[in-house]
Chains A and B, each alone.
Chain A
C-alpha cells in the first residue's frame, strides 16, 4: 500500500528534460532518500511533490488522492530547505505557529502544539528568540518543527544538513531520523552525501541524469548495485578486469587464473566477453584463507585510519584497495612487501567492461 506515489513523472524546462519517467512508491511512515550528483533532478522531483513545479507529464498521488494539479498550499506538505528559510520577522514561536495559525487553530491549541514541537527538537527554552539569534543547527531544528507542527502528510527535506558543519550534521541527522520514526511521517530526504543517505534511509533512490537508476534498501544498494553508475557512485569499488570463459559454469579468467563465480552473476554473457569484477574494499582480505579467490599482491601504500587500516596493493594488473581492522599486536604490512589477498566469489559484483 503506497502512500505517496509518483507515476511516470517527467519534467522538462523548455527543451531540457531534467526528470525522465520517474516512478516511486513510498509507504506510510517510510523514509526515502534521493541520492545523486548535482543537477540530476533531485530538487526538481521534490518540488513537483510539493507543488512548486508542474510535471510535464505523469501523476502524483498522496494518500490515495491525485494531487498532480493541486496548488502547493493545499497539499499539506512540510518542507525543510538547505538555507533554513525561517521567517526573519517572527520569533521561534511565531515560526513554528505559522502553519497552525493559517489552519485557523485556536490560541491555546497553538500554544500547546508549539510547545510540544519545541520540546521535540529540544529548543523549548528559545521560543522567544529570533532566527538571527540562533546557530545554523538550531535554525534547522526550528525549520523542522515549523514543517511538522501542522501535521503534514509528507515531509520533504532538500539537503537540510548541507549548510552545517560536520559534527552538527551527524547529530541532527540522527535526530531527524528519530523524530521521523516517532511521528511515523512519510519522508523524502534529498542529499548528495551517500553516507547520509545510507545511514538514515529505509530506502534510497539513486538518481542520475533525471532517471531513478535504482531504488532499494541501503544494504541492497551497497551490496547489489544494479547499474554501473550506482556501483561507482555509492561506496568505493575495486575494479578487476576479467574475461568470461564459460557463462554456464560461471567461470571467468583473471590474468592467468580461472575463477568460478555464481553462474547467475555472468548470466546472459558470452564466452570471451570482457567484464569487470567489482569488489568493496572490505570484501578483500589479506592472506589466502578469506575466500575462494586468491591473488598474489604487492603492498603499495598503507593508510592508517584508526580502527581500520586501508591498504593499496597491486594485484591482477590493477591497484586494489582493501580494509583490515587495526590490531594492537599486529603491525600493518610494510610497503613493498609481497603477500596474498583473497576474497569470496560471492562478494563479486559483475559489471560491464
Chain B
C-alpha cells in the first residue's frame, strides 16, 4: 500500500477524506505510508480532491449511461436523489482481463434500484441490461455472423442433428410488458416472455414477444436431443410443435448441431433456459 492506494481511498471514501483533513496520522496508519508519502497527500490543496471526487462520480455516471441510457434518463427525471445516492455509494472494483470493458457498473445499478423504484422501472432496467449484454457478447456476435454467412438452414423437424438455441439468442421473462414502449416506470403489468436475438451490424438486437409454448420448446433445445426427441419431450400436439420448431430453425433461433465442437459450445451456453428477470 502506498500513495496510490491512499489517494484512491481519499477520492472514493468520505471517511478517508475526513481523515486526511483531520487526522492524517490515522490515514498514514491505514495505508502504511511513510512520512514522505503522507506529506505528498497532506501537502496537496484540498480543492483538487473535491474536484476529482466529483469527476470519479461523473465517470461512473457516464459508464452506466453508456450501458443503460433509458434507465438512467428515467432515474434522472424521476429519481435524481436515488441516482445521486448510487453514484455516491458505489466504489467501482477492478475487473480482471476482459472485465476492463465489462458491464459491472450497470449490473450494480440494476441491483441497486430493485426495491427502491417501481417494479415496472426495475423490470425495464433488467430488460435494457439484457439487451446491452447481448449486444456486447462476442459469442452472440459470432453466431450472428455465422447466420449471415451460411446458407438457409435445413428445416424439417425430422432432421438428425441435436438441437440447441443459437448463441445469438437469449430468452428472458418479465412481470411487465417491457416491449410496449412508453415511460419505463408505467409499463403494463403483464407476464411477458421476450426472445432477444443478436443480429450482425445494426440494429444489434431485436426483441420478440413469445408465448409459453415457445419458451418451453426452446428450453428443450439444450444440445441433448434431436428434433424428434424435442417434439416428443414438449408433448402437446406433435404437428403444431413440429411446425413451431421448424419456424425457429428457419429463423436460426434454433440450430442443429452435429460436431463435437458445437456440442461443447452448447454445454457452455447459458442461453438455453429463460432467465427470470422480472
Whether both chains belong to one complex is answered with: no
Residues on A facing B (Cβ under 8 Å) = none
